[in-house]
Amino acid sequence: MKKCNSLQEVRNEIDKIDTQLVELISERSHLIRQAAGFKESVEEVKAQDRIDDIMQRVRKKAIELNVNPNMISELFKIMIDEMVETEISELRNAGNF
């Protein structure tokens, strides 16, 4: 982790990370759209077992990195819920159901 020497430097680093986060979420979203092409039903999209695995994995990683796991869970819940809706829209647009 970088040691910053001023508040402005901290803010600049945060801004860089924010940009990276948005880029990674965008990349994840594009992969979700690809995944929709391999699915044939809403049940496959909603794959609760997969969602549970993701949530468990990210909570564990948050704990390892000393980040509030509840915050991470909330962020991922929002992201996953939105991406599930994106996948469902992709399936509908493709005429898969």
Residue 96 has pLDDT above 70, yes or no: no
Q: Does 64 reside within a domain?
A: yes
Using a cut of 0.75, tell me whether the model's pTM lies above it.
Answer: yes
Residue 74 belongs to domain spanning: 8-93
Asked if residue 1 is part of any domain, the answer here is no
Give the residue ranges of DSSP H helices in 1-94. 7-36, 42-46, 48-64, 69-93
53 within some domain = yes
For residue 61, what are the contacts with CB-CB under 8 A and spacing of at least 6? 72
Q: Is 3 part of a structural domain of the chain? A: no
Q: What's the one-letter identity of residue 50?
A: R
Q: Is residue 2 part of a domain?
A: no
Whether residue 20 is contained in a domain is answered as yes
CATH code of the domain containing 89: 1.20.59.10
CA 41 to chain centre: 21
Are the C-beta atoms of 74 and 19 separated by less than 8 Å? no
Query: What pLDDT is attached to residue 92?
Result: 83
| Count of structural domains, the chain | 1
pLDDT per residue over 27-42, tens digit each? Answer: 999 999 898 888 888 8
96 burial level (CB within 10 Å; 0-12, 13-18, 19+): middle
What digits encode the pLDDT tens for the residues 46-92? 999 999 999 999 999 999 999 999 999 999 999 999 999 999 988 88
